[in-house]
Chain A
Amino acid sequence: MSIDLEQFHETFFEESFEGLDIMESGLLELEQGDVDLENINTIFRSAHSIKGGSGTFGFTAVAEFTHDMETLLDQMRNGERKVSADVVDTLLGCVDVLRNMLHAIKDKSEIDTVNVAEMTQALKDILGADSAAANSSAAETQAGLAVKGWQVSFKPYEDIMKTGNDTVRLLRELCSLSDSYEVFVDSEALPPLAEVDAEACYLSWRINLLGGEVSENDILDVFAWVDDECDLKIETLAEDELYVGPERRDDERREPARDDRRKVDRRTSSAKGKESSSIRVNISKVDELINMVGELVITQSMLSQFGEDEKFNESHIERLKDGLAQLESHTRELQESVMRIRMMPISFAFQRFPRLVHDLSAQFGKKIELVMTGESTELDKTVLEKIGDPLVHLVRNSLDHGIEAPDVRVDAGKSETGVIELRAYHQGGNIVIEIKDDGAGLNKEKILDKARQNGVISQDDRLSDEQIYDLIFRPGFSTADVVSDVSGRGVGMDVVRRNIRELGGTVEVDSKPGEGSVFTIRLPLTLAILDGQLVGIGEETYILPVISIIESLQVKTENINAVAGNAEVYRLRDEYIPIVRLYHIFGIEPASKELDEGLLVVVEAEGKKIAIFVDDLLGQQQVVIKSLETNFKKVQGLSGATILGDGTVALIIDIAGLIELYQKDMAGVVVQIKGGGLAA
């Protein structure tokens, strides 16, 4: 039977990466001096599983590498080796190498052999070269020579059957080695019937194998499981005793197995790098889903009765309405359940930070304690995967720029050890992630200087603290005195903001001099569904994200001001807000071009406000976002499309993109939208 092992690779990789994460966090705990046997055991088990799996699935390089790791861990758990910083660091390095190897195999790319060799050497240095050599030679067993015939005496102990071994099976297997055999039974030891213990074995056998094709090892293999439960004697048969076969039968027999493995390897490397991604879902979520579908089916069958009922009359209407209401609530619950399937705890994004902080604080000579809370907070898998890099950047930033060197901290009257706090929680329909440090805080003067140098702001601009802090998210903005390896390359915060914005989220910073800074990221729970406000412009329907709408209002003409050329602003209380005529930007025909005949919807994105002029507000509903990028192409000002209840397609407005579009549109006119609308 030939089975394609490749089908199990995805699961193997998934569990191996999980195993590596477990090893990593376990090792970091060890480092903190917390030597707990159960922890070492857990680390050992992960390494052991990866070794077993990689061997089975033909990733020999991984199996070989893991072998030495396992040996070292085994010594640690047996108390033969002390846990030292050196050992932990080496093992952490091994985890990295292993992760890279697995990634390389998964992506069908080259393994970095130099790295592997270095780490293997480091392991061997710790283990002492001799033990590794002993291990590899142990596998080489002496191959027996083929002879003409064998006499096997097999005298099992009484208890042999109590380990599930069956003497008849053993004899049958032994005899299957040769076409020609003789079996003699010795029943001498059999007690009188009354004394027989039915579960004991009293018989012994003598078997003559007459074929010349059997080696001693073949026979030993048969009895391998019971060699300590019987007396076994293997002797060559007297006749033709001198005959020694020219070939080593034993080697030949093993050859096919090795060939198989090579074939698997080749198949693995020839297959194209096909992406497949899977998600692990808690069974209770699936059960919930099935339950919901059940409810839906019941409602459906209830409603279908009305269709069959020929005497449908007004008296049924109440029940029909009930049914429809039920249908609606079930659909909503079903939708929520389905969404929950994609939800994963944020710990998947957080778990890399203990290691990161460990490595970086050593590099910078800082002392840092990392506190993480709300790790079980769930968010969409896609959001989770994409938020990783921005988070890393922010944590690195806090570590590099936020937390001061130990002596500086002591001088400032703070504890030597800085604290970085990662906190995740739900708030409304959003998930909030905070990265907080108790460092020096942002330096307002430095930021302002830099901004003036770069011409981001003019000499006499007066900005609030909030606006000053926000400057660090501008492109090309870095105030690091020394450009370090970690951050301060000048690309950074603007990329962070852009990445987060792409996820439909926002990032803000707040800071107190001498007390530290907090970066707050707000993200939508899911990317697939949006609370939308439908607006009508002429024949078209557009959708505005409800989250970005501040208010909608009827236009009072006296509040409209025209500034330079065709730019219009609306005075709303003390603010001047640019009016964006959507029909103009998208080139469509509205019902009316008179501002007082339509409505203004004031929306905000990234601290900028605009008032969008529309004909009418149509209603609010949840819409499923269909990507324009995958189905058509990326269009600025639009974040996607959706299909409405009546089957027509409506486009979803991307407010931030629209603001940019509007600014381009007004390029001739200097309209700079600042935080909170136009500066009055």
Chain B
Amino acid sequence: MLSEQEKTEIAAHSQHYPTARALCVEALKIVQRHRGWVSDESIADVAEALQMTPVELEGVATFYNMIFRKPVGRHVILLCDSVSCWIMGCEQLREHLHARLGIGLGETTVDGRFTLLPNVCLGACDHAPAMMIDNAHYQDLDPASVDEILAKYPKYPQEEKKEKKEPANGNTADP
């Protein structure tokens, strides 16, 4: 079942599209924001709410790399591996992250703190190499600056801030 909060957030976007189905990407992102990832159960919940079959929704969910169909850590590192960042040393950063965190691409640290994923061009090519952690962009990286950035993220779950920042809700309606 979708929570009341999830239903409210999804409904805030319903005026933007003429069909329920068109809401599905937004709905998947909302559910993922609340639940951390999109489980089979979440697929069933969203599909029911939007009058889609779970299989139809699964086809959409698995298409997008930012819809996580497997659990991820508390923070997701998205390391840009496109051409400008490759020239400027993203592979060295990947090796450094592996040495620091003990994880390769697609893996999560044993303490659940970080998941490391590759990402296509983040649009920071003049400040390569670049990465994102959750919603934050980082650029002009080297191993030392990566270490400083990682240190900003809480080591233990109990240190995480309670409320994660929610993005603004859709467009304003036609006044």
Whether A and B are associated in the same complex: the answer reads no
Q: Which residues of A contact B (CB under 8 A)?
A: none
Q: Which residues of B contact A (CB under 8 A)?
A: none
